[in-house]
Amino acid sequence: MVKKGFSKSYFNLKRVEVIFFLFVFSFASPGIGSASANTGKSGLKTSSNNKKQVIILKSDDFIFSEEWKRYVKYIEDKDIKACLGVVGKELDNESLCEWIRLLSTKNNFEFWNHGLTHSCGEDYSEFKNTSYEYQLSHLQATQQLFKDKFGITLRAFNVPCMDSDENTTRALADVEDIKIWFFGRKGASQLCLDRNGNIEFPYGYPDYNKFVERYNKNRLGQYDHLALQVHPGFWRDETCWDEFLKIMDYLFQKEVVFMTASEYYQSITAVIRVTNSSNNGPGSLRAAIDQANNHSLENAEIFLPAGTY
């Protein structure tokens, strides 16, 4: 919605809604949840929006394999989005690296940090009962591998085997590039995507009947988004694949929209603030709108200082 008589075409507002706040704000990068245009505080859909539910496919343990090839092809054929979790140590496989290079040129995938070693144990795991320094070094190592090998900055993270502790929260807070924590801990400085629904029952086995039963029982349609975890590398049994396809068809009927984690993050946190500086006025408004459009920020709120409209 554009107020104060600005025409949409004049500002080339393809995807940006402009909301004018007649106060002086200084420029600040968006804080998490600071502009939740689309989401209630609880993560439930608000009555004021009729937006489609966002589905984020959190796809764990990405490697170079036939099972993964089938999954990736499906995502491309349907032209939807998936987030592929990579363990740093797997990047010594050149076939995997070549594939990541190829997929990173496409619009369907986002890679995320799934640790360095994926070690899981009873006494300790990569991110549980290990020191802050150890956890930080593992987080940074995978971030750096992606930067060095592919020029990619990873924005999302999840621990292997759901094992984390308070050191994980502290270490993640010191990795500024990571903005999203799948199934994160309370008190995290990242946007934590909750685990409201499941596709696999148990882990590695998609189950259509259980998915639908929980979908209805827990009223999963009420959430603004669902982050759904899958392990396509384990789907060697044809039944697993068929069950996954049925679940996806069920979701398609609900008219959901698939996003990467970063796209979802941007859609709910976009705030662009124009400073009350010497270059304010229509030019700075234009620059802010261009910035929002360049980042495909669907729900950007542009804050203007008084006197610039």
In the three-class reduction of DSSP (H, G, I as helix; E, B as strand; rest coil), residue 128 is classed as strand
CB 218 within 8 A of CB 206: no
| Cβ at position 150, least distance to Zn ion in Å | 20
* Cα–Cα separations (whole angstroms), residue 57 to 257, 278, 281: 11, 45, 42
Considering the complex, state which of residue 60 and residue 243 has its C-beta at the smaller distance from Zn ion. Answer: 60
Alpha helices in 157-196 (DSSP H): 166-173
CA dist., res. 22 & res. 1, Å (int): 16
Alpha-carbon torsion 80, 37, 265, 251, what sign? Answer: negative
| Cβ at position 123, least distance to Zn ion in Å | 19
| Cβ at position 88, least distance to Zn ion in Å | 12
CB 261 within 8 A of CB 83: yes
Considering the complex, state which of residue 163 and residue 194 has its C-beta at the smaller distance from Zn ion. Answer: 163
- Contacts (Cβ under 8 Å, ≥6 apart) of 20: 3, 4, 302, 304, 309
Considering the complex, state which of residue 13 and residue 141 has its C-beta at the smaller distance from Zn ion. Answer: 141
| Cβ at position 130, least distance to Zn ion in Å | 16
Considering the complex, state which of residue 30 and residue 160 has its C-beta at the smaller distance from Zn ion. Answer: 160
CA dist., res. 205 & res. 203, Å (int): 6
Considering the complex, state which of residue 89 and residue 170 has its C-beta at the smaller distance from Zn ion. Answer: 89
CB 59 within 8 A of CB 71: yes
| Cβ at position 144, least distance to Zn ion in Å | 20
Considering the complex, state which of residue 60 and residue 110 has its C-beta at the smaller distance from Zn ion. Answer: 60
| Cβ at position 124, least distance to Zn ion in Å | 16
Going by the DSSP 8-state scheme, the letter that residue 124 receives in this structure is -
Q: Which residues bind Zn ion (CB under 5 A)?
A: 60-61, 160
